[in-house]
Chain A
Amino acid sequence: MKHTDVIVIGSGLAGLTAALASARQGKSVTLLSYGSSSLSLNSGLIDFLGYDDSHKAVKSPREGIMGLPETHPYSKIGMEEIAEAVDFFRDFAKEYHMPYHGSLDKQILVPTAVGTLKPTCLAPHSLAGSESLEGKKKIVVAGIRGLKDFYADIMVENLKKSLGDDLAYETIEIETPLTGGRDITTLDVARWLDTPEGVDSFSKQLLAYKGKKDTAVIVPQVLGTKGHACYLTVSSRIETDIVETTGLPPSTNGLRLNAMFRQALRDNNVEIVENTKVIGSKCEGKACKCVIAEAGVREKTYTADKYILATGGFYSGGITMRSFDQPEEPIFHLPVYSVKGEENWSNEQLFSDKPQGYAKTGIMTDETLRPVDEQGQHVLENVFVVGRDLGGYDLCFEHSGNGVALASGYKAAKM
């Protein structure tokens, strides 16, 4: 039974951040990971707060966060730590060759694969849509022949509503050598663009727009899997702004971010244990002594001074619910907050101006991110809760998931 200073359970954005931030403070860290993490389903854009409780667009996330209720995770984390987390992330991203742009004071608008615009705070340059689209007179949407889930013509129809139909629009189709087999994903094309031949061919097909300062080229998320290297190469060859969109999974940008984190964790000697599902724990009084994990057919225990729970809420099985009104946290059996009653659990409309009640289910903590019971008393002193496991917010409604993940992961590491 190996002992480290910190054990992080879960390798989504919150877990990765907690592990990296802990390691950078000189702690020995074990990261227990089950499955391939949620990053392939994550845009890798760091939204902090896109919409307020009445669904009004938030112009300044910093101001929006100040106005949130006490029960919101951001209120527990505090503005100072949130701002530190942003700096921490930006420094790390720059060091690992995929600098992120943006700040807590305004929104970047990223074009999506359906032609709407999505607000976010921090984005790599290739996805920093509004920064590149500003002042353009012409938009070229470049599809890829045979690529699944990218419909350039439909995107243009909707872009006209988002960006205005006074701009000129054009669609083109890029040819690749990937057609003729199974369905092609953005990841296939991105891997092709990791090769010199791929970048050559791709850039050549965009030469018609070379040097056109009033034009931006919008492409699906295909500009390589390795940081922003491919983006830089293509941009410098065509000398025109090129912008990626969000899209259906697999998310190339989420995988870029994942690769970057994994590299940084290895560089900081974090022990990553894959395919390990934590199924329980042993606690004495208010202290967790070890966690128990299923590794293949065996059970293994891991011990640490401090445990960070980043198991992803309902989304990743970190919270389960077999019967109505009875959510459970299966590892530490922490008290789980949820709204009660059928009428509060969900809205009649899937998309509306109200958050979904069920989505606020999660674990309540104090300002140190330690779990508390209904009376606000600590349940366990050496367990910290981060990311989607936290209660009191609907991330899809308010566009805040990666922001909470990043800020809570960072803060938990400091505690």
Chain B
Amino acid sequence: MEKATVVVVGGGATGVGILRDLAMRGVDVMLVEKQDLVNGASSRYHGLLHSGGRYAVKDQEAAKECIIENTILRKIGKSCVEASGGMFICLDIDREQDPTYEEQWVQGCKDSGIEARQISLDEAFRLEPLLSRHVVSAYLVPDAAIDGFRMSWQNVDSAKRYGGRLKTYTEVIGVITENGTVKGVKVRDYFSGEEYEIACDILVNAAGGWAGELAQLAGLEVGVQPDKGTLLAFNQRLTSHVVNRLHKSSDGDIFVPHGSITILGTTSMSVPSAEDTSTAREEVEKLMSIGEKTFEHLRDCRMLRAFAGSRPLYIPPGGSLGRGASRGFAIVDHEKQDGLKGMFTIVGGKFTTYRLMAEKMADAVAAKLGNTEPCRTAEEPLVPEVSEADKKAARKYFPAYGTDLAATRLGPERFARVTETLKNNPEKRELLCECENVTVGEVEEMAKELSSFRINDIRRRTRLGMGTCQANFCALRSASVFARVGRDEGAKDSLGQMKEFLQGRWKGIRPVLLGRTIRETEMTRALYELSFNVNGHRIGGDKE
């Protein structure tokens, strides 16, 4: 039987943070995740690295944590953070609604240690020309954008250097207990359906929106309310800063620029299951009508897609739901609470404070194990940086703007390998994804990894297919490259992979199928349905 001292369940930011933290303390730790990494709320959110400004009035504890962690993540995760800076804007309607809020907010930032600098309206419109002229005051704060996919994979890469192990597409289907003590977990392989056991001394439930279901497998109850947030991605940078409305936190009032796109979010809606990542037209309309207050011409911008994820809100007995519920986190020691030895649940919190949550959780686990190593996750960078000299040497092999992007995506070891590939095989310099500047060489590097089972797994690590064309051109290419070099047997089904990849894009496109988005969809269908007949039957009626 496979064995690890600690098994962590859930490949979101919290889970990978714990994996890294414990591995760095020398603990034998394994993470299991039922899908690919960051399939839940850790990627299905707006990718905002909070300054804490958003919590400055309501929850100063959270605000203080945010600004401290914000500073740490900028240092340890340089290549995941786009230090765009943030702007809080107060609209005339905001001021009318609550004339005292701005003052409270300024004071709250001050008390929480967040630097909020007021700027003139001229300055605000110079920095963000598309802003509504209904803005009455503006402040700059140290918000930033953060790439949830990359941050999480870099945690794993770091953990692996210390012996941490990862199994994706491995779902926990049972918790094995003996005499009130956890002995291990029973898991199922997503692709083969094979079921087997993994022994452990301590089980950490970091399953986010699924934490309640996992607890049930051990016969326990954990109050987790999945709270769905829907977001819209626009096909351009509408802003250069993160733009927040300066009012009591509400739906759809944050714009976060990422690379070549902008994300608008988010809504808040209790749902029965974290699996519900659907988006209704009503939610899109709601976000648009709120977003239009900040950027009045929003409706003329092309939407790329909509997506949704569930915040795992922790509900202690008698607690409240929705936006009123705490964004804080909780650690439950099930030995103390339920008399089950060797199991913890960590739930709630937010992406910005994932490292702190992991630290607290690892402290508790280490204490049980008698491990006295200190936490070092705040000091050591997730991955070493690619040196300027290496980047310079690589420039002649990468596409014009592609070197820096590839360096941040790949980290030093993979970057060195890809550079070598491109140097020796000029045909691998071909751009497989023009929108995100990804070469054939880079896609091959990721396609060969043992954790790549589907094109979507490669997408999350390269950004392939996430840009303007939403996979119109790279679906054919990536399916072909994957079929050629992928290690998993499933990679060989190029048509199946291609269809699955396009279907994944379609899921997000469908709720925003308005005029400009339809143009792109018509292109997708004309290429794949008409020209390639991937939906076709053979003459005679047999399905292909």
Point out residues on A near B: beta carbons under 8 Å: 41, 43, 47, 50-51, 55-57, 59, 107, 109, 112-114, 116-119, 145-146, 148-149, 151, 153-154, 157-158, 161-162, 179-180, 183, 246-249, 313-317, 319-324, 327, 342, 345-346, 348-352, 356, 358-359, 395-397, 399, 401
Contacts and interface: CB of A to CB of B under 8 A. Distances in A.
A351 B535 contact: yes
B538 interface: yes
Nearest to B518: A314
For the residues of B in contact with A, the DSSP-based class is helix
B476 A248 contact: yes
A257 B537 CA distance: 28
Given A114-B495, A117-B539, 17 more contacts: A118-B530, A146-B430, A151-B481, A151-B484, A162-B544, A248-B476, A315-B522, A315-B523, A319-B515, A321-B518, A324-B281, A349-B503, A351-B502, A351-B528, A351-B535, A352-B535, A397-B529
A280 B527 CA distance: 31
Contacts of A151: 476, 480-481, 484
B494 A342 contact: no
A321 B503 contact: no
Contacts of A180: 426
A346 B535 contact: no
Nearest to A324: B281
A44 to B, nearest CB: 11
Contacts of B536: 50-51, 57, 116-119
Given A324-B285, A352-B535, A154 B480 contact: yes
Contact of B515 (A50, A249, A320, A345): A320
B519 A317 contact: yes
Given A112-B532, A351-B534, A158 B494 contact: yes
B287 interface: no
15 contacts: A47-B530, A50-B536, A55-B537, A114-B498, A116-B495, A119-B539, A154-B494, A158-B494, A248-B527, A315-B523, A322-B300, A349-B503, A349-B506, A358-B513, A359-B525
Contacts of A399: 530, 533
A104 B116 CA distance: 71
Contacts of B391: none
B432 to A, nearest CB: 9
Interface string B484-522: 100000001011001100110010001001110011001
Contacts of B540: 57
Contact of B539 (A57, A148, A249): A57
Interface string B278-291: 00110001000000
B473 interface: yes
A253 B524 CA distance: 19
A146 to B, nearest CB: 6
Contact of A59 (B494, B530, B539): B539
Nearest to A158: B495
Contacts of A109: 539
Nearest to B473: A248
A322 B544 contact: no
A157 B494 contact: yes
A56 B519 CA distance: 26
Contacts of B530: 43, 47, 118, 395-396, 399, 401
A347 to B, nearest CB: 8
B370 interface: no
Given A149-B477, A358-B518, A116 B513 contact: no
A43 B477 contact: no
A114 B533 CA distance: 9
A323 B299 contact: yes
Interface string B426-447: 1100110000000000000000
Interface string B102-116: 000000000000000
Interface residues on B, range: 35 or more
B217 interface: no
Nearest to B483: A154
B541 interface: yes
B526 interface: yes
B531 interface: yes
Contacts of A50: 533, 536
Given A183-B431, A248-B527, A350-B503, A118 B532 contact: yes
A51 B522 CA distance: 18
A154 B497 CA distance: 12
B435 to A, nearest CB: 14
A171 to B, nearest CB: 12
A322 B532 contact: no
Contacts of A356: 525
A56 to B, nearest CB: 6
B513 A346 contact: yes
Contacts of A43: 530-531
A319 to B, nearest CB: 7
Nearest to A394: B525
B532 A113 contact: yes
Given A149-B477, A157-B492, A157-B494, A118 B518 contact: no
B519 A314 contact: yes
Nearest to B432: A148
Contacts of A47: 530
A120 B518 CA distance: 25
A107 B513 contact: no
A81 to B, nearest CB: 24
B134 to A, nearest CB: 21
The 8 residue pairs across chains A and B that have the minimum distance between CB atoms: A351-B535, A151-B480, A321-B515, A350-B506, A396-B525, A118-B533, A314-B518, A315-B522
B503 A342 contact: no
A59 to B, nearest CB: 7
A9 B281 CA distance: 34
A112 B519 CA distance: 23
Given A180-B426, A350-B502, A350-B503, A162 B519 contact: no
B379 to A, nearest CB: 44
A318 to B, nearest CB: 10
Contact of B532 (A114, A119, A183, A313): A114
B450 to A, nearest CB: 22
B476 A342 contact: no
B511 to A, nearest CB: 8
Nearest to A106: B539
Contacts of B523: 41, 315
Contacts of A153: 484
A108 to B, nearest CB: 10
A114 B539 contact: no
Contacts of A51: 536-537
A119 B476 CA distance: 20
Contacts of B484: 151, 153-154
Contacts of A319: 515
Contacts of A148: 430, 477
A253 to B, nearest CB: 11
Interface string B458-476: 0000000000000001001
B428 to A, nearest CB: 11
A113 B281 CA distance: 36
A333 to B, nearest CB: 15
Contacts of A114: 476, 494-495, 498, 532, 534
Residue with the greatest number of chain A CB neighbours at <10 A, chosen from B299, B523, B529, B530:
B530
Contacts of B494: 114, 154, 157-158
B85 to A, nearest CB: 31
Nearest to B498: A114
